[in-house]
Structure 1
Amino acid sequence: MAGEEPQPDHWRASAMTVEADLAPFAPADLDEARGRLTRLARIWANRLDSLRVDQLDHSPGEGRRFRELALHLKGSTYSAYSVGGPS
C-alpha cells in the first residue's frame, strides 16, 4: 500500500438510511425470539444446576470455566434492559 494514492471514500455511514438498513421485525418475530431466548436460558439453568460445586471451576475445553460463563451471562442483562427490557 505504500506509495498508493488513497481512494475516495463514498461511504455515508449513518448520515443516511437506505431500504436495506430496514429489517422488518413483526410481532410474530418478537414472539419467536422471546421463545427461543427463554428456552436457551432454561437449558443454561438446567446445565448449571446439574454441576457440582467443584465442577464450576473447570472448563470442558480451552475456554472459560463454567462459573466464569455464568457470571458473564448474568452481567449481560444490562444490555437487554438498556434497550428496553421487560417492564
Structure 2
Amino acid sequence: MTRYLSIEDDDGSVPETDERDVTTLIPDAVDAVLAIAETWLAFDGSPVVRDGNAWTPHKALRRVADHLIDHLAEIECRLAGVPTEPDRWHGRRLTLDADFARFTEADLDEATSRLRRLALCYRSRLAGLPAATLDAPSAPASGAWTIRQIVHHVAGITAYAELLGPLA
C-alpha cells in the first residue's frame, strides 16, 4: 500500500479551500513575500522575536523556499503514485547562524529569482490538472490532504514574511 505524508496546519486543522484559480495562488503569495522582502535591506542584524522564534530576512526566505520545495515534492510524488519522503527539518524553531547575516541587494535578487522560479513550477504543474485530480483524496484512510488543500496551505507562505514584517 502506498503511504502519503499526512500534513497539518500549525493548529492541526485542514486548510480551507475556495474557488480561486490554484495556478495563481503560489505566484501571488511569492509576490507578496517579495514585496515585504524589499524592505529588509534595512535589516540591522537584530532579529524580530515573534511567536517564540527569532526572525531575520534570511530565515524568513529560507522558510518560504523550504516550504515551497517540500510541498512541490509532495505534489509530484502524489501525482507519480509514490510515497513522499517525510521531512525531518525543524521548521520555524530552528534559527541558523547564517540567518543573522547582513541582507543585501544580491540576497534579495537571488531570493527573487529562486522564489519566482519555484512559483512558475507550481503554476506550470497545476495548470494541467483537472479539478477531479486536485480534489481527489489520494489515500483517504491516511488523512492526507488533497492537492488543492496543499496549494491553499502553501499559499500561506506569506506568514513567514509577515512574522518579520516590513523593516523600512
TM-score, normalised by the number of residues in structure 1: 0.57
Give the greater-gyration-radius structure (CA): 1
2:110, 2:138 → 1: CA distance?
Answer: 30
Q: Find 1:34's aligned residue among 105, 109, 112.
A: 112
Asked which structure has the greater RCO (Cα within 8 Å, sep 6+), the reply is 2
SS at match of 1:48: helix
> What runs of 5+ residues in structure 1 fail to find an aligned partner?
1-13, 15-19
> What runs of 5+ residues in structure 2 fail to find an aligned partner?
1-53, 55-96
How many percent identity over aligned positions? 36
1:72 matches 2:153:
yes
1:42, 1:60 → 2: CA distance?
Answer: 24
TM-score, normalised by the number of residues in structure 2: 0.33
1:53 matches 2:131:
yes
1:57, 1:24 → 2: CA distance?
Answer: 43
> What residue identity is the alignment partner of 1:78?
A
- Two-structure CA RMSD over aligned residues (Å): 2.9
> What residue identity is the alignment partner of 2:125?
R
Cα distance change on mapping 1:44 and 1:59 into 2, 3 Å? farther
SS at match of 1:76: helix
Cα distance change on mapping 1:60 and 1:32 into 2, 3 Å? farther
CA-CA distance at 1:77 after TM superposition: 1.9
- Which whole-Å deviations, capped at 9, do the CAs of 1:13-56 have from their partners, x for residues lacking one? x8xxxxx5742332112100111001101110111111001000
CA-CA distance at 1:69 after TM superposition: 1.0
> What residue identity is the alignment partner of 1:47?
R
> What residue identity is the alignment partner of 2:126?
L
